Amino acid sequence: MLILFILTLVVSFIVVRIGAIAFQLTGLEWSLAKFQALSCFSGTGFTTKEAELITGDKQRRKIASVLIVLGNAGLVIMIATLAGSLVPQETILSKLSESFLPFYIPPYLVRWVNLGIIVVLVYVVYRVFTYEKFVRRLTNFLRKRIIKREMFKKVSFEELLLATGGYGVSKVAVCAGSPVLNKTLLKSGLREHDVAVLAIVRGEQTIPNPPKDTKILLNDELICFGKLENIRNRVCMNP
């Protein structure tokens, strides 16, 4: 039981990390992706504004659904295994006292000592998964595997600030096949879809408040304000 509890805890850390990477690949900023993954898995900390980032995107809804299901399942398993581990007849220390230790440990004391062992093991697991070098290597390994298997579609989309009603400020990289590629801002149709281009980042150059005749080129980064769904559909996605 104790081994299963620790194993479930380790798997939970890994699942949350995979969820964060998946959210990042869909365009969320890394710190926000980590928070959203933990929120979905634990069922806590989900605010209305941040929920719009998830519910407004099909891929993110799917990721969130998986995290929520796995989080609930993991919680049930950990509670069950924790309760089982505290039964004196099932504790490791109880077995050791019967076979190896030269003295007998009463069942009521075994339970508390076993709880102490669990706390120490949980702390060790926590320290391992918060150790910067280990976490960085694990994240890079998982990200490479996810990208290689093409489990999630990577998009060049970063949501910088979410406003109410699904509106926000976003930085979008113009990809090949984008509906606005090689068009001027005037002819791009962005204004008609309630999207305002605040600036264009082109290599090392930043063009603030670009004029209407500015041509949108491949790999330009558009900093836009508008409805996030419209920005994704008009700039990121293929026609």
Contact predicate 229/56, CB 8 Å: yes
32 and 75 co-located in one domain: yes
Q: Looking at 122, 149, 176, which one is the last position of a domain?
A: 149
92 and 38 co-located in one domain: yes
Dihedral sign computed on CA atoms, order 70, 74, 77, 80: negative
pLDDT value at 102 more than 70: no
pTM assigned to the model: 0.60
10 and 127 co-located in one domain: yes
125 and 40 co-located in one domain: yes
Kindly compute the dihedral angle of the four CA atoms of residues 122, 123, 125, 126, in this order, to the nearest 10 degrees. Answer: 120
More confident residue, 183 or 227: 183
**Boundaries of domain holding 215:** 157-236
Average pLDDT over residues 14-40: 85
pLDDT value at 216 more than 90: yes
9 and 125 co-located in one domain: yes
Average pLDDT over residues 184-201: 92
Q: Looking at 149, 183, 200, which one is the last position of a domain?
A: 149
The DSSP string of 69-95 is HHHHHHHHHHHHHHHHHTSGGG-HHHH
94 and 204 co-located in one domain: no
Q: Looking at 149, 172, 207, which one is the last position of a domain?
A: 149
Q: How high is the pLDDT of residue 90?
A: 47
Q: How high is the pLDDT of residue 163?
A: 58
73 and 181 co-located in one domain: no
Residue with tokens 């559909």: 233
Contact predicate 36/162, CB 8 Å: no
- Which CATH number goes with the domain that contains 189? 3.30.70.1450
In which band, very low, low, confident or very high, does the pLDDT at 212 lie, cut at 50, 70 and 90? very high
Give the pLDDT confidence of 131-178 residue by residue, as tens digits. 989 998 998 898 888 877 776 666 555 666 665 667 888 888 888 888
Based on its alpha-carbon atoms, the radius of gyration of the chain, rounded to whole angstroms, reads 25
Cβ-proximal residues to 101 (8 Å cutoff; 6+ apart), any chain: none
49 and 135 co-located in one domain: yes
**Buried b / exposed e along 184-199 (16+ C-beta atoms within 10 A):** ebeebebeebebebee
164 and 101 co-located in one domain: no
117 and 177 co-located in one domain: no
In which band, very low, low, confident or very high, does the pLDDT at 196 lie, cut at 50, 70 and 90? very high
Quote the crossing angle between the two packed helices 92-99 and 107-129, to the nearest 10°.
120
Q: How high is the pLDDT of residue 154?
A: 60
Give me the number of domains the chain comprises: 2
